[in-house]
Every structure is written in C-alpha cells, then in structure tokens.
Structure 1
Amino acid sequence: MALSRDSILQASDVRTKTVPVPEWGGDVILRGLTGEELDAYQASRRQVRNAGTKQQELVIIQDNARASLLVKCIIDDDGARVFTDQDAGLLGMKNGKVLDRLFDVASDLSGLSDEDQEEMEGNSETPTPDGVSSSSSHEPSDAPSPSSSEASAPES
C-alpha cells in the first residue's frame, strides 16, 4: 500500500545521534538536516566566479565548512539548536580533530555524500555546466555571490 501525502508529511524521519566528546567533557547530540536545510548549506558552500564568461568556474568555499554544518546540527536534549549560524566562527576555533569527527557524523545524518564531503575538503574537482573544472580556493570572487537564506532553528 502506497503512503499518503499526510503520512509522508507526518513521518518523523530526521535522525539524531548522541556522540561522546571526551575532549569537551560530555556528549553532543547531532541532528541531520532536513532537505531544505541541506540544500541551503550546500548552496552556501558554492560560488560561481566570472559568471557568464568563458572563465566561469564553480568554487567550493572551504572556510569553516565543518563548523558551519555543525552549528546547524548540534542540538540540546529538547531538540533545539545549541548554536546560531553566527556561532560558526567561534565553534571553528575548537579542536579540528573533534570538529572533523562530529562533521563526519553530521554529514552522514544529513545525507551529504562522500563526494560532497570531498568537495568541502578540497579533494576533488567538479566540472561546471560548461566543462570548466572547479577550484577549491576560497578567495573572494569578482562577481557578487547570491545570498542564501540561512536555515532557521527547528521547531520544538
């Protein structure tokens, strides 16, 4: 029997996982992103340089990518976000090994593919629609970056 619209929309399918973080003296609860939040996060990590020209390229913005995901995924016991998007810079100053470990779990919960993770880490090149390879540089673009709306905190 096929699921109805209402049963799909009412299904609780966003996963969580409690991860021990002995370096911080306790546990962290991570929540996977919704589809809308995942799309916004991925869009915020990409920028097109020289749009509309032969030199057009897709650039993956690596600056604080791990912390930028984690501020969206770390929740408290009631399911509310612990951090705001503006806290990414502060969280990014924590131990890189810890952030990397949490990022891997948050990526898995959110459905980020291995390829997406490699792009964020600068380990792959992605061709743009016109066949030009992407760069993993994080230098500012000459062209203005389209703004993306930041995901808001989940409702409790």
Structure 2
Amino acid sequence: MAFLTRDAILGADDAAHVDVECPEWGGTVRLRSITGAQRDQFEQSCLLQKGKERRVNMRGARARLIALCAVDEHGGKLFGDDDVAALGRRNAKPLDRLYDAATKLCGLSEDDMDELTSDFEDAAQNEPSTTG
C-alpha cells in the first residue's frame, strides 16, 4: 500500500457526479459532489440558535442540498441561494429523488442527519438549567 503525500491529496481530482432522470421536468439533472467545507455549511444551515435556544432546521433542506449539488453539463452551478425557496416549491417526487441521490453522492446518510440532531439535542440537554 502506498501512502499519499500532501500534494497528492490536495491535487487529486476527487469530484464526482451523477445524472438523475426527472421525467416530471422533462429531462436529466446533473448533481456534483460537494466539498467538505460545503458539507459543513449545509449541516450548519440545518441548525438554528437564538440565545440559548437551539433547534434543528430541516425546512428547505432538500432544496438547499440540491442547490449546492445541481450543475450544468459544464459543471456550472444551476441555482444560487436566491433560488432555494422557488426550488423547494417544485414537485416533491423529483426533489426527493434528487435529494436521495445527492445525499449518497455527498456521503450524507440518514444516520448522519440523525447524529447531527442527536449531537445537537445532547448539547442542549447538557446546558445548565435556568429553572433552579
């Protein structure tokens, strides 16, 4: 087994993509894998904190992840942040198909989302009580 060098890791072309048929929309959508920083950003977007109150925010999660991953045939992003709400109003069936493909492509599993929620709930439970 060969050990990788810093340059080999940082120079690797490790992006992947998958094409997903969306007959409801009359074609195919290409999804590209995301970077570690983009995954962190997506996971962070699933959490809301207001003061000491923290909660999970799954509203628009499908559309947010699809917007991060959807690209044209040249690799250019299809959607910007301003498109997420409009994308979320599209038919749920192709959105679910795209979200499922994107989570697999990005290494996000149901267990990952459960763990995110669990870690979040554990942190909230370990905070000191203000009720005395």
**TM-score, normalised relative to structure 1:** 0.72
In structure 2, do the counterparts of structure 1 residues 68 and 29 end up closer, same or farther at CA, with 3 Å as the change threshold? same
The Cα shift of 1:131 comes to: 2.6
The one-letter code sitting in structure 2 at the alignment partner of 1:34 is T
| 8 Å CA contact 1:71, 1:83 repeated in 2 | yes
The Cα shift of 1:112 comes to: 1.1
The one-letter code sitting in structure 1 at the alignment partner of 2:26 is G
Asked if 1:62 is matched to 2:76, the reply is: no
Moved over 6 A (4+): none
Unaligned runs of 5+ in 1: 133-156
- Partner Cα distance (1:82, 1:19) in 2: 14
Matches within 5 A, 1:13-28: 13-28=14-29
Unaligned runs of 5+ in 2: 127-132
User: CA deviation digits over 1:110-152, x for unaligned, max 9?
Assistant: 11121244589xxx755232536xxxxxxxxxxxxxxxxxxxx
Structure with the larger helix share: 2
Select the residue among 70, 75, 78 that pairs with 1:79: 75
- Partner Cα distance (2:96, 2:22) in 1: 12
SS at match of 1:17: strand
More relative contact order in 1 or in 2 (CA 8 Å, sep 6+)?
1
SS at match of 1:19: strand
| 8 Å CA contact 1:32, 1:107 repeated in 2 | no
User: Which residue is 1:43 aligned to?
Assistant: 44
SS at match of 2:123: coil
Question: How big is the alpha-carbon RMSD for the aligned residues of Structure 1 and Structure 2?
Answer: 2.0
- Partner Cα distance (2:124, 2:63) in 1: 31
The one-letter code sitting in structure 2 at the alignment partner of 1:102 is L
**TM-score, normalised relative to structure 2:** 0.84
User: CA deviation digits over 1:52-73, x for unaligned, max 9?
Assistant: xxxx4x3111221100111110
